[in-house]
Amino acid sequence: MRSMRAVFLGRDEDKQMMKTTSTHLEEQPEGPAQGTHDKNASIETPNTSRAHLLWLLRVVGWGVLLVLCGLMLVNQVFTASREMSDFCQDYTAARRLTQGIPVYLPLRCWSDSGIVHVPAPLEYDAHPPPSILLIWPLSLLPMVPAAALWGLISLAAYLTSGFLLLRALGWRSLRNFALFVVGSLFWQPFIYSQTLQNTGQMLLVLLVGAWLLERRNAGWAGALIGLAGLLRVWPAVLLLVALIQHRWRLFWSGITTLLLGTIVTTLAMGPGAYAAYLGPVRASELYWIPTEGNISLVSAVVRPLTGYRDPPLVLSPLVSGVGLEQAALLGQILAGILLVAALVLLWWCGRRAPGEPVNLLSQGLMVTVLLLIFPLTWLWELILLLLPLTTIILALRQLPRPPRRWFALVALGLLPQLGPYYLNAFLEWLASRQVQGLAGSETLLFGVPTYGLLLFAGAQAWLLWKASDLKK
Residue 353 lies in a domain: yes
Whether a cis peptide bond, with omega within 30° of 0, leads into 311 is no
Amino acid at position 396, single letter:
L
Residue 424 lies in a domain: yes
Q: Among 37-46, 84-93, 143-152, 177-186, which stretch is predicted with the lowest mean pLDDT?
A: 37-46
Question: Residue 431 is part of which domain span?
Answer: 293-472
Residues 350 and 362: their CA atoms lie apart, in Å, by 8
Residue 281 lies in a domain: no
Measured at the alpha carbon of residue 204, what is the angle toward residues 401 and 232, in degrees to the nearest 5? 125
Indicate the average pLDDT of the chain.
85
Q: Taking 50 as the threshold, does the pLDDT of residue 22 lie above it?
A: no
pLDDT of 54-99, one tens digit each?
A: 888 888 999 999 999 999 999 999 999 988 888 999 999 999 999 9
pLDDT at residue number 94? 93
CB 254 within 8 A of CB 229: yes
Amino acid at position 328, single letter:
A
Q: Which of 193, 100, 197, 95 is nearest to 137 (CA)?
A: 95
Q: How many domains does the chain have?
A: 1
Residue 213 lies in a domain: no
Measured at the alpha carbon of residue 426, what is the angle toward residues 419 and 123, in degrees to the nearest 5? 80
pLDDT at residue number 431? 63
The number of beta carbons lying within 10 Å of the beta carbon of residue 55 is 10
What DSSP assignment string belongs to 19-73?
A: HHHHHHHHTS-HHHHHHHHHHHHHHHHHHHHHHHHHHHHHHHHHHHHHHHHHHHH
Band (121; pLDDT cuts 50, 70, 90): confident
Residue 334 lies in a domain: yes
Provide the whole-model pTM: 0.85
Q: What is the sign of the dihedral through the CA atoms of 164, 169, 174 and 180? A: negative
b/e 220-230 (16+ beta carbons within 10 angstroms → b): bbbbbbbbbbb
pLDDT of 315-329, one tens digit each?
A: 778 888 888 999 999
% pLDDT > 70, the chain: 83
Quick one: which H or E segment has residue 309?
Answer: strand 308-310
Q: Which residues lie below 8 Å from residue 174, measured CB to CB, with a gap of 6+?
A: 59, 62, 63, 66
Band (435; pLDDT cuts 50, 70, 90): low
pLDDT of 243-260, one tens digit each?
A: 988 899 999 999 999 999
